[in-house]
Amino acid sequence: MKLVDKPRQLAVPFASTGEKNTIPDSATQDTKEKGNAAYDSGFPPLTMTAIAAGGIPPHGKDFNGIMNDITSALRYSQAGGLYTFDSAFAQAIGGYAKGAVVLSSDGAKIWWNTVDANVTDPDGTGATGWKNLLADPAGLFLQRAKNLSDLQNKGESRKNLEVYSKTESDDRYVNIDGDTMTGELTGTYNGPQTFAQQYDSKAAFYDVFSTSSPSAFSPILKQRFTINDHSSWAMSFGAMSSNFVPMWLLHMRGSAGDDVQFSWNTSGGFYAPGDIKAGGSVYSGSAHLNANGDIDGIAWGGSLSGWLNSNISNAQNNAQNWAYQNLVNAVRLSGRTVIRDSGGRIDLPSGCVYTGMSGANYNPDIWGAYSAIQVLINGQWATVGTV
């Protein structure tokens, strides 16, 4: 059969408004003599005897009564109705059979009979063999009151639902109240990428820090680093208030109490407590310090080495030119002049010196000789007495 093969549903029982007899369960002498039907024996033999032989026809009201009983029961069943427990009915049928189903008196339960010949009232205190189908006596369904504790395989159920137990969740996920990671943690964030939007936006790792203290440090990242048998340091990175001045700080504290900190303030300044080494040039505006030690900047018109070389060279040239023009570059004696012996004191011209005198071969006319001392200044030779 198919679903479409269902028989007609009876909205109105047969003879519901017609005349009908109430059919008794058992026949009596009176019903037999009058030809009335009874459920235990049906119509009596008298109704099956020819009228000519003294029989009587069956009563139409009996037919109406029988058909009304049957169609009324059919309509109740077709309407989805269940019968409640009936003690007299149970006794009459020798008890409910195993597998029978009845409705509780309040209509809130469906009782399922698990034993044959059951005459006990399922709603009563002495009921036996009855189970409430709505309470799932066979354990086929989950019970709301058990809050999933009646699952046969909780692990498989969680797997199917893609959820985890507390232990599994602790092993898989980070606790919102704080936790320890045993592997790497990667964050992604597809937020604003312009500088103008950064104050009101977030990031892959985001922290909000506020303070009323003039000095407070809130690291967003920290690492404890130990070199065995040598030293141990805590490296922290985060925001700091220094006398109400906000800054970004890299702080290092050693196990011996040593502190080292590098800071960037909101004015663009940077502080380092030790040496700063750059693999390339160090810039300050358009000026920069090169890796070879030279400095480039507009104050030097280029490089400092070029400026120094140029100015030192100019100074040397100027000094040389001045010395050439103002200082003695060379000294010489002029040609010899012979003088005779005058018999008295002989004075030489200014700037002259004797270069020779007569000795044993005295000759008054060539008694002595002298030369002028000359110096070279600015390309010109001059006698010293005239300079």
Which residues touch 324 (CB under 8 Å, ≥6 apart)? 378, 379
In angstroms, the CA 166 to CA 160 distance is 16
**Integer CA distances (angstroms), 22 to 38, 42, 61, 67, 69, in order:** 9, 13, 9, 11, 9
* pLDDT tens profile 64-95: 999 999 999 999 999 999 999 999 999 999 99
Cα angle: 151, vertex 153, 155; to 5 degrees? 115
Q: Is the pLDDT of residue 131 over 60?
A: yes
Sequence-ordered list of residues with C-beta below 8 angstroms from that of 283, at least 6 positions apart, any chain: none
Kindly report the pTM of this predicted structure: 0.43
Residue 359, pLDDT > 60, answer yes
**Residue 301: pLDDT band by 50, 70, 90 thresholds?**
confident
- pLDDT tens figures, 223-262: 999 999 999 999 999 999 999 999 999 999 999 999 999 9
The predicted structure's pLDDT at residue 386: 67
Which of 52-61, 149-158, 266-275 has the highest mean predicted lDDT (pLDDT)?
52-61
How does residue 340 score in pLDDT terms, banded at 50, 70 and 90?
confident
Who's near 114: CB < 8 A, 6+ residues apart? 98, 129, 130, 131
pLDDT at 184: 84
Residue 186 is predicted with a pLDDT of 83
